[in-house]
Amino acid sequence: MKHLLITVLICLTAHTSNAMGSPDVFSTRHDTLNVPMDLDSAYLHFSENSKSALFEGYTIQIFSGNRSGANAVRANIISLGIDSEARMVYREPNFKIHIGSFPDASAAERALLEWRIHYPDAFVLKTLIPWYELPTQDDPVPSDTVHSEQ
C-alpha cells in the first residue's frame, strides 16, 4: 500500500508540473518576435514584384490617339534620345504613350516638368505600371563613415 501511495504521488506531481507550464523536453518553442517581413522596403519591393508584373503607381501620358500617331510619337521620343522606355498602351478606342514608372505623384510631377517642354499636353496619370529597378547606391562606404580629404 505504501508503494502504491508513493507511485500515485509521483505521478500526480509530474502531471501537475506539466499542467502548470514548466518546460518539457519534447515541447515546442514558438518565436515571440513577430516582426512583419514588409518592414524592409527592398524586401517589400521584391515580394510585390514576384506577385504581379504591374503595381499601382503613376506614369506620364503624352499621347492618346490612333496607332499610327502613337507609333510616330514613340519614334520621335526614341530619336530624340529622351527616353527609350516609352510604352504604348491600348485602351479602347485609343492608343496611349506612357513614360516612366513612379511610386508617388510628386516624383511624377517633377518628371512632368521636363516632358512638358516637348509635349505641352502631357499629364500625370494614376494607373498600373510595370515594376522598375530600385536605385542602388554606388558608394560602398557606410553613411556614418567620415570621408577625409587628402
In the chain, what are the domain boundaries?
62-130
The pLDDT assigned to 90 comes to: 93
Residue 148's pLDDT band, with cuts at 50, 70 and 90, is low
| Per-residue model confidence as pLDDT tens digits over 56-110 | 889 999 999 999 999 999 999 888 887 667 889 999 999 999 998 888 899 999 9
User: What band does 149 get if pLDDT is binned at 50, 70 and 90?
Assistant: low
pLDDT (tens digit per residue) in 14-30:
655 555 555 555 556 66
Q: Would you report the helix, strand and coil content of the chain in percent, each value rounded to 5? A: 40, 25, 35
Q: What is the mean pLDDT of the chain?
A: 76
**106-129 confidence digits (pLDDT tens):** 999 999 999 999 899 999 999 888
104: cell is 508617388
Residue 13 C-alpha cell reads as 506531481
Long-range contacts from 15-19, C-beta under 8 angstroms, 24+ separation: none
